[in-house]
């Protein structure tokens, strides 16, 4: 008992002695230095509130030597994670202000950490280089700016130096740090850890030579430093290096061979560069490698080196987003048993790998991530994957996998993400496929032929955050199991064969949902008057059967697409208060009526607004639009009237303007010329009058589509339109235009090239899709997805005169050309055959003369042709595609045309009136011999006919059944022929009328 009491007394005495030593050891000059330093700082979070009293070694962030009492550690890093928002805990707790030189009094300081604060762009203090005992210096992500001082090279005892930035200053308004050369760093011979991520090293071309002089360096991180060149090294001196991170730079070379001489290398990250060539087999020499990241180097090609399979310590292999090809079977099957035990991450997604997925993948028992998506894999998903008991992420999307999904995947009890979307999978998914997936949060099944076959009332074992079931067969009933999912953030059930009423419980089941896409189904019913999804920011419900008034959505909504439904009633007059953050609003193809509310002009975030194909009336809103980024406006196909207000010219960022098919009138306001970014201008189907303004061609240089058809424009076509070199669609049809077709139209260079690519006409508007009504092949068609491939010129139904300019024949990319129903004269240009991409050509109802050029037979893509009602003459060309265009109506109304498909023969086509003159003069011996042979040919043909005719007639006389059938056949043919003649004459009469 006494010994226990003595032990307790000794412990208490020791603790008291330590406290006394600590209190006694706080040096007054050092305490005063800290207080002076504190006064220079701004501390909005009051983190330094403990810096009072005499015992400075007990202050927050201060550490002292227990023997001497000197301050050796100052750790003032912000404990909160970086966050750019001003109201975040990080910003509220960040130290700011100046760094006072009083810290020089801390002559024994070994550890200084000011990271994760915000010193708002001040330079790294020069005086820090005088703290000669420093071993650890961390100034990372602290808001310092400017050039890092070379004097830091005086800190010869430094072992740890970090100046990394959390965000790239190129993309965020943050101070930038830079280094112009590294000579000063060569003095830090004891340096073990160097982190300069996102520091600008573009001018420091000596970086590698200097790093090679640091024999103690074990960790080097230079990612996103704007490095362009990775030099060669004759000798590798940094043999202690274990971590090398050079990701997110611009290296453009093969992978340097000196890397394979770093014998202790554990972590190598060369991702997101521009390395090229094959992955060297020499990687197999670096036996210590645990992590290898060569991802996002699009010029890395060749096949997977099998030597990687011999790296027994490799835990993470990321070769995603390259150009690697070949079959992975050899790589998987040749891998040694040790890598099968060590490998935890295998990401080969985004390459050109092909073949079947090998069953041998099931041998890698410790895999946590398998990324094989977006390759060219075919065949089934191997059932052996269900044996990977540690698997957390399975990514097989974007391949050509087929067959059924194996039920064994339902045994992956650790699985968090299952991505098998965009394949050719089929069959049913049952509850067995998910039986043990208790940790599943991300489910991506879209774009397969899969049917979800769950019993009503099934309660899944998981709680999903992301659900993507687009183009799977989920319906016809709305899935009741969704009611159990309380944490859903994104839900995509588009085109899912649902033809059910929307259940009331759905609108209250997932309060955290931010993205909802139920488009392209047949979901019925009315939506609640007010939705309670407070986090919902993107709503896509287009192409369903929803009806009733428009609901009130949360103020967080950014994208709202309710198009192609049966919503009715007016738009709320205070929509700017309800949806203040709205960027895209599409209500097209509904039954919405009333006027366009002026409050739409007050949504300053608006980028795209589509109210087309409704029953809106009244005038266009006359207001100053507050959005500075407004890019697309579509009010077409309504009952709008009046003029275009001049205020619409304030939309200087507008790229697409559709006002077609309304009852608008007047002249185009001069203010529209301020819309210099316009790509599409569609004003067709209105009552606009006056001349086509020349400033369209002078100010709107980006125009790709100009549609002014079906108006009352008059006067000549302004030659200034030929300045629109990007123009692909020009539609001026059905106006009162006169004069000639400008010769300068051959300047439409976008119509002169056939190198069109399938891409959006407008790229900057997110979910918005440009579309256009165009007359093609005699019909009015709506183009959307393929709009970028359309090249068309329609000048039909005007009063144009003169000839067809030869310059139009240089527009080699034209697919549709229509100048019908004018007063054009002259000949069809001989070089019409140079427009080899033409699919539709209409020159009808003009006064064209002369022959049809023979070059027209070279138009191998032509499927619609109309040359009717002109004064064309001569033989109709034949051959190639013209052989299939055999409708006589193509050429009707040209009385001097002849040849097929018309019935009129051309001169010289009549059969010869006289037979050959036997023995006539003027020929040589061969001609006489040919005539003799032809004489006996005719004799034999006559005898053959006589024998055949009398034989057939004899059979009819003898066999009664044949005789009845023969005459019945001729009676039937006579009736059919008579009906055909009557119909033909009636059709010709209607066409003439």
Q: Which two tokens stand for residue 479?
A: 């899935």
- Three-state secondary structure call for residue 41: strand
Interacting residues of 667 by C-beta distance below 8 A, sequence separation 6+: 643, 688, 689, 690
Beta strands in 350-463 (DSSP E): 352-356, 369-371, 376-379, 393-395, 400-403, 417-419, 424-429, 442-444, 449-452
Q: Is residue 247 part of a domain?
A: no
Looking up tokens 């979910």 gives: 767
Whether the Cβ atoms of residue 805 and residue 781 lie closer than 8 Å to each other: no
Q: DSSP letters of 872-938?
A: EEEEPP-SGGGGT---GGGTTT-TEEESTTSSPPPTT-SPPSS---TT-SS--HHHHHHHHHHHHHH
- Closest C-alpha among 295, 292, 323, 296 to residue 307: 292
Question: How far apart, in Å, are the Cα atoms of 791 and each of 249, 757, 780, 803, 835?
Answer: 41, 12, 15, 22, 12
Interacting residues of 645 by C-beta distance below 8 A, sequence separation 6+: 619, 620, 621, 622, 669
pLDDT value of position 955: 56
pLDDT at position 923 over 50: no
Whether omega for the bond prior to residue 314 falls within 30 degrees of 0, making it cis, is no
The two most distant CA atoms of the chain are separated, in Å, by 157
Last residue of a domain, one of 500, 520, 555: 500
pLDDT at position 756 over 70: no
Whether the Cβ atoms of residue 359 and residue 410 lie closer than 8 Å to each other: no
Centre a 10 Å sphere on the Cβ of residue 293 and count the other Cβ atoms it contains. Answer: 21
Average pLDDT, the chain: 88
45-88 pLDDT, tens digit each: 999 999 999 899 999 999 999 989 999 999 999 988 777 667 67
- Closest C-alpha among 656, 651, 654, 687 to residue 671: 651
More confident residue, 87 or 932: 87
Spatial separation of the C-alpha atoms in residues 85 and 984, rounded to whole Å: 78
More confident residue, 977 or 454: 454
Mean pLDDT of 378-382: 97
Mean pLDDT of 709-716: 97
Candidate from 721-725, 751-755, 840-844 with smallest mean pLDDT: 751-755
Looking up tokens 């007059």 gives: 573
Last residue of a domain, one of 148, 178, 208: 178
- Three-state secondary structure call for residue 493: coil
Mean pLDDT of 208-231: 94
Handedness of CA 223, 226, 232, 236 (dihedral sign): negative
Mean pLDDT of 883-890: 88
More confident residue, 977 or 505: 505
pLDDT value of position 377: 97
pLDDT value of position 534: 76
Three-state SS annotation for 644-691 = CCHHHHHCCCCCEEECCCCEEEECCCHHHHHCCCCCEEECCCCEEEEE
pLDDT at position 155 over 50: yes
- Closest C-alpha among 849, 807, 845, 856 to residue 827: 849
Whether the Cβ atoms of residue 164 and residue 132 lie closer than 8 Å to each other: no
Q: Is residue 95 part of a domain?
A: yes
Spatial separation of the C-alpha atoms in residues 225 and 165, rounded to whole Å: 10
Q: Is residue 213 part of a domain?
A: no
Whether the Cβ atoms of residue 822 and residue 794 lie closer than 8 Å to each other: no
CA dihedral 670, 671, 676, 677 (to 10 degrees): -130
pLDDT value of position 942: 58
Q: DSSP letters of 600-632?
A: GGG-TT--EEE--SSEEEEEPP-S----SS--E
Spatial separation of the C-alpha atoms in residues 802 and 790, rounded to whole Å: 27
pLDDT value of position 731: 96
Three-state SS annotation for 740-787 = CCCHHHHHCHHHCCCCCCCCCCCCCCCCCCCCEEEEECCEEEEECCCH
Q: Is residue 400 part of a domain?
A: yes
474: domain CATH number is: 3.80.10.10
Q: Using a CB cutoff of 8 Å and minimum separation of 24, what contacts does 292-295 make?
A: 292/268, 292/316, 292/317, 292/318, 293/247, 293/268, 293/269, 293/318, 294/255, 294/270, 294/318, 294/319, 294/322, 295/271, 295/319, 295/320, 295/321, 295/322, 295/347
391-422 pLDDT, tens digit each: 999 999 999 999 999 999 999 999 999 999 99
Whether the Cβ atoms of residue 696 and residue 722 lie closer than 8 Å to each other: no
674-705 pLDDT, tens digit each: 999 999 999 999 999 999 999 999 999 999 99
CA dihedral 325, 327, 330, 331 (to 10 degrees): 50
Spatial separation of the C-alpha atoms in residues 135 and 409, rounded to whole Å: 52
Residue ranges making up the domain that contains 35: 28-178
515-550 pLDDT, tens digit each: 999 999 999 999 988 877 778 889 999 999 999 999
Model confidence at 762, pLDDT cuts 50, 70, 90, reads low
CA R_g for the chain: 41
Residue 631 φ then ψ, to 5°: -120, -25
Whether the Cβ atoms of residue 334 and residue 360 lie closer than 8 Å to each other: no
Q: Is residue 643 part of a domain?
A: no
* Domain count for the chain: 2
Q: Which two tokens stand for residue 11?
A: 């412990």
pLDDT value of position 76: 96
Whether omega for the bond prior to residue 476 falls within 30 degrees of 0, making it cis, is yes
Model confidence at 917, pLDDT cuts 50, 70, 90, reads very low
More confident residue, 760 or 301: 301
pLDDT at position 357 over 90: yes
Q: Is residue 359 part of a domain?
A: yes
pLDDT value of position 233: 87
pLDDT at position 821 over 80: yes
- By residue count, the chain amounts to 993
pLDDT value of position 237: 86
4-26 pLDDT, tens digit each: 555 444 444 444 444 444 444 58
More confident residue, 8 or 29: 29
Model confidence at 936, pLDDT cuts 50, 70, 90, reads very low
pLDDT value of position 940: 55
Last residue of a domain, one of 453, 485, 500: 500
User: How many CA within 13 A on the CB side of residue 586?
Assistant: 23
256-308 pLDDT, tens digit each: 999 999 989 999 999 999 999 999 999 999 999 999 999 999 999 999 999 99
- Three-state secondary structure call for residue 577: helix
Question: How far apart, in Å, are the Cα atoms of 212 and each of 191, 209, 217, 659, 938?
Answer: 12, 5, 9, 66, 102
pLDDT value of position 13: 44
Does the pTM surpass 0.95? The reply is no
pLDDT at position 638 over 90: yes
DSSP secondary-structure letter at 398?
A: S
- Closest C-alpha among 738, 746, 741 to residue 715: 738
Q: Is residue 219 part of a domain?
A: no
Secondary element (H or E) of residue 695: helix 695-699
Interacting residues of 378 by C-beta distance below 8 A, sequence separation 6+: 354, 355, 356, 399, 400, 401, 402
Q: Which of 81-85, 800-804, 915-919 is most confident?
A: 800-804
- Closest C-alpha among 46, 77, 40 to residue 61: 77
Q: Is residue 426 part of a domain?
A: yes
pLDDT at position 223 over 80: yes
- Three-state secondary structure call for residue 212: coil
pLDDT at position 561 over 50: yes
Secondary element (H or E) of residue 847: strand 847-850
């Amino acid at each position: 008992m006494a010994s226990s009491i003595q032990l307790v007394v000794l412990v208490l005495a020791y603790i008291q002695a330590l406290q006394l030593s600590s209190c006694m050891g706080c040096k007054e000059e050092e305490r005063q230095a800290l207080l002076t330093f504190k006064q220079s700082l701004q501390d909005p979070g009051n983190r330094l509130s403990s810096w009072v009293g005499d015992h400075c070694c007990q202050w927050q962030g201060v550490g002292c030597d227990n023997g001497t009492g000197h301050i050796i550690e100052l750790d003032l890093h912000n404990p909160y994670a970086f966050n750019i928002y001003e109201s975040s805990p990080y910003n509220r707790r960040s130290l700011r202000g100046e760094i006072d030189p009083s810290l020089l009094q801390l002559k024994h300081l070994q550890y200084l950490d000011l990271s994760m604060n915000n010193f708002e762009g001040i330079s790294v203090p020069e005086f820090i280089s005088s703290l000669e005992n420093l071993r650890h210096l961390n100034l990372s992500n602290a808001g310092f700016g400017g050039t890092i001082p070379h004097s830091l090279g005086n800190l010869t005892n430094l072992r740890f130096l970090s100046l990394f930035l959390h965000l790239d200053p190129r993309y965020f308004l943050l101070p930038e740090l830079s280094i112009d050369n590294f000579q000063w760093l060569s003095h830090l011979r004891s340096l073990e850890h160097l982190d300069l991520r996102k520091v600008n090293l573009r001018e420091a071309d000596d970086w590698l030579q200097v790093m090679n002089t640091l024999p103690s360096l074990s960790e080097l991180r230079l990612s996103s430093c704007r490095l362009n060149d990775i030099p060669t090294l004759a000798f590798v001196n940094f043999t202690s290096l274990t971590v090398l991170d050079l990701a997110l730079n611009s290296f453009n070379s093969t992978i340097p061979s000196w890397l394979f001489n770093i014998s202790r290398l554990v972590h190598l990250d060369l991702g997101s560069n521009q390395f090229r060539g094959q992955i060297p087999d020499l990687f197999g020499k670096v036996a210590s490698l645990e992590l290898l990241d060569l991802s996002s180097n699009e010029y890395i090609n060749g096949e997977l080196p099998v030597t990687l399979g011999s790296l027994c310590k490799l835990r993470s292999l990321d070769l995603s987003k390259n150009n690697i090809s070949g079959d992975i079977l050899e790589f998987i099957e040749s891998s040694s048993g040790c890598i099968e035990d060590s490998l935890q991450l295998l990401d080969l997604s985004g390459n050109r790998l092909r073949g079947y997925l090998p069953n041998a993948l099931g041998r890698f028992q410790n895999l946590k991530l398998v990324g094989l998506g977006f390759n060219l894999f075919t065949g089934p998903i191997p059932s052996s994957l269900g044996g990977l008991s540690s698997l957390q992420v399975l990514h097989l999307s974007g391949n050509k996998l087929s067959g059924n999904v194996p039920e064994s995947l339902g045994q992956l009890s650790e699985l968090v993400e299952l991505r098998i979307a965009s394949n050719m999978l089929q069959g049913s998914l049952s509850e067995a496929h998910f039986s043990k997936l208790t940790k599943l949060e991300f489910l991506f099944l879209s774009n397969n032929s899969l049917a979800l076959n769950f019993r009503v009332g099934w309660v899944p074992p998981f709680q999903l955050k992301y659900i993507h079931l687009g183009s799977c067969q989920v319906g016809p009933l709305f899935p009741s199991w969704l009611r159990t999912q309380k944490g859903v953030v994104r839900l995509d059930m588009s085109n899912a064969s649902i033809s059910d009423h929307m259940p009331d419980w759905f609108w209250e089941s997932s309060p955290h949902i931010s993205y909802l896409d139920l488009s392209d189904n047949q979901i019925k019913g009315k939506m609640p008057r007010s939705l309670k999804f407070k986090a919902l920011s993107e709503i896509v419900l287009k192409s369903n059967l929803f009806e009733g008034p428009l609901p009130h959505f949360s103020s967080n909504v950014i994208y709202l697409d309710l198009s192609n439904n049966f919503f009715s009633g007016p738009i709320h007059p205070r929509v700017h208060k309800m949806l203040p953050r709205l960027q895209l609003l599409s209500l097209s193809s509904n039954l919405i009526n009333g006027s366009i509310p002026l409050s739409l002009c007050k949504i300053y975030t608006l980028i795209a607004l589509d109210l087309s194909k409704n029953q809106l009336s009244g005038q266009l809103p006359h207001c100053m639009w507050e959005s500075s980024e407004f890019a697309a406006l579509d009010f077409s196909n309504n009952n709008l009237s009046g003029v275009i207000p001049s205020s619409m010219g304030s939309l200087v960022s507008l790229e697409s303007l559709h006002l077609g098919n309304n009852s608008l009138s007047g002249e185009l306001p001069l203010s529209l010329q301020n819309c210099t970014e316009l790509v599409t201008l569609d004003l067709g189907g209105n009552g606009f009058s006056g001349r086509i303004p020349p400033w369209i061609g002078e100010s709107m240089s980006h125009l790709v589509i100009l549609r002014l058809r079906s108006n009352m424009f008059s006067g000549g076509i302004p030659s200034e339109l030929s300045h629109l070199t990007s123009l692909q669609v020009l539609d001026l049809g059905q106006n009162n235009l006169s004069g000639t077709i400008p010769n300068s139209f051959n300047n439409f260079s976008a119509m002169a090239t056939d190198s069109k690519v399938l891409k959006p006409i407008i790229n900057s508007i997110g979910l918005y899709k440009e579309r256009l009504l165009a007359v093609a092949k005699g019909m009015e068609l709506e183009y959307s997805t393929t709009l970028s491939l359309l090249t068309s010129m329609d000048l039909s139904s005007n009063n144009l005169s003169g000839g067809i300019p030869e310059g139009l024949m240089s527009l080699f990319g034209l697919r549709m050309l229509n100048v019908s129903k004018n007063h054009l004269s002259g000949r069809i240009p001989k070089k019409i055959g140079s427009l080899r991409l033409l699919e539709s050509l209409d020159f009808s109802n003009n006064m064209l003369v002369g022959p049809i050029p023979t070059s027209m037979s070279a138009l191998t893509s032509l499927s619609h042709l109309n040359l009717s009602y002109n004064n064309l003459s001569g033989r109709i060309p034949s051959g190639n595609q013209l052989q299939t265009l055999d409708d006589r109506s193509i050429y009707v109304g040209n009385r001097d045309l002849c040849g097929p498909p018309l019935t009129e023969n051309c001169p010289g086509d009549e059969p010869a009136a006289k037979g050959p003159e036997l023995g006539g003069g003027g020929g040589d011996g061969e001609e006489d011999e040919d005539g003799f042979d032809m004489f006996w040919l005719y004799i034999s043909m006559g005898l053959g006919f006589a024998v055949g005719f009398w034989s057939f007639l004899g059979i009819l006389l003898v066999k009664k059944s044949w005789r009845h059938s023969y005459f019945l056949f001729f009676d039937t043919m006579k009736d059919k022929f008579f009906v055909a003649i009557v119909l033909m004459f009636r059709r010709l009469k209607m066409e003439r009328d």
